[in-house]
């Protein structure tokens, strides 16, 4: 069995010296992602044909990679079936995929993913924390809100920010304050 679970897995996707949160769908034994055009992730995948899913539980990394680029020294090169792929240095585990663009619309492209290699680097246990989960949700809405300034999205962000304040640990609170800075 692979590391990804059924449904949508919110991972940090790395492509050539780039990282961003991305949802990987795993249904009926097949993997795919839907990427908005214009992102570095979409551009790199269309050019290079690979992507690595990083399993990481640091909320700050989710916020940072959603809004800006990471320095090159945070990436590690991994040889995978004759290609050099990049994964995050801090990942607990990673799964490398070859990626083929299957379908394009005006706004997005659907990418079929075929697993090539996966490694667990360190074993850690993460108790369920609503603050962490809400931080991820708030970040999803914030990436859209930054572009649209939609009032309904802001309401979702505020709701989840409340849960982060109530249930999160220090790292979630730090991530939330970064998030608030990005959406200003
Ligand atoms: C949890 C989470 C999941 C996301 N999933 C996707 C996704 O599946 N597809 C997508 O295009 N953008 C997704 N985003 C938004 C991208 O991460 C965001 O647009 C990012 O700035 C793209 O960075 P890049 O230009 O470095 O690729 C997601 C954001 C978050 C926080």
Helices 59-67 + 170-183 axis angle, to 10: 20
User: Per the confidence metrics, is the pTM higher than 0.95?
Assistant: yes
CB 52 within 8 A of CB 95: yes
For the Cβ of 134 lying below 6 angstroms from any atom of ligand 1, the answer is no
**DSSP state for residue 21 in the 8-state scheme:** E
Q: What is the pLDDT of residues 64-108, one digit of tens each?
A: 999 999 999 999 999 999 999 999 999 999 999 999 999 999 999
Q: What is the pLDDT of residues 155-166, one digit of tens each?
A: 999 999 999 999
Distance 121 CA to ligand 1 centre (A): 24
CB 14 within 8 A of CB 61: no
Burial 147-163 (b: 16+ CB within 10 A, else e): eeeeeebeebbeebbeb
**DSSP state for residue 127 in the 8-state scheme:** -
Q: What is the pLDDT of residues 36-58, one digit of tens each?
A: 999 999 999 999 999 999 999 99
For the Cβ of 157 lying below 6 angstroms from any atom of ligand 1, the answer is no
Q: What is the pLDDT of residues 111-129, one digit of tens each?
A: 999 999 999 999 999 999 9
Atom 5 (ligand 1) nearest CA: 22
Q: Which atom of ligand 1 is nearest to the CA of 38?
A: 25
């Amino acid at each position: 069995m692979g590391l990804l679970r059924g449904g949508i897995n919110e991972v940090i996707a790395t492509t050539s010296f780039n990282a961003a949160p991305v949802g990987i769908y795993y249904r009926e034994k097949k993997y795919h992602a839907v990427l908005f055009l214009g992102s570095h992730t979409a551009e790199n995948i269309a050019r290079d044909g690979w992507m690595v899913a990083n399993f990481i539980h640091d909320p700050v990394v989710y916020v940072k990679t959603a809004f800006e680029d990471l320095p090159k020294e945070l990436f590690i090169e991994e040889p995978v079936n004759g290609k050099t792929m990049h994964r995050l240095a801090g990942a607990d585990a990673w799964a490398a995929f070859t990626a083929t663009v299957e379908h394009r619309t005006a706004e997005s492209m659907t990418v079929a993913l075929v697993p090539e290699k996966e490694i667990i680097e360190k074993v850690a246990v993460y108790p369920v924390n609503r603050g962490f989960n809400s931080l991820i949700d708030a970040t999803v809405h914030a990436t859209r809100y930054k572009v649209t300034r939609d009032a309904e999205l802001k309401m979702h962000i505020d709701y989840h920010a409340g849960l982060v304040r109530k249930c999160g640990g220090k790292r979630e609170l730090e991530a939330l304050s970064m998030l608030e800075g990005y959406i200003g």
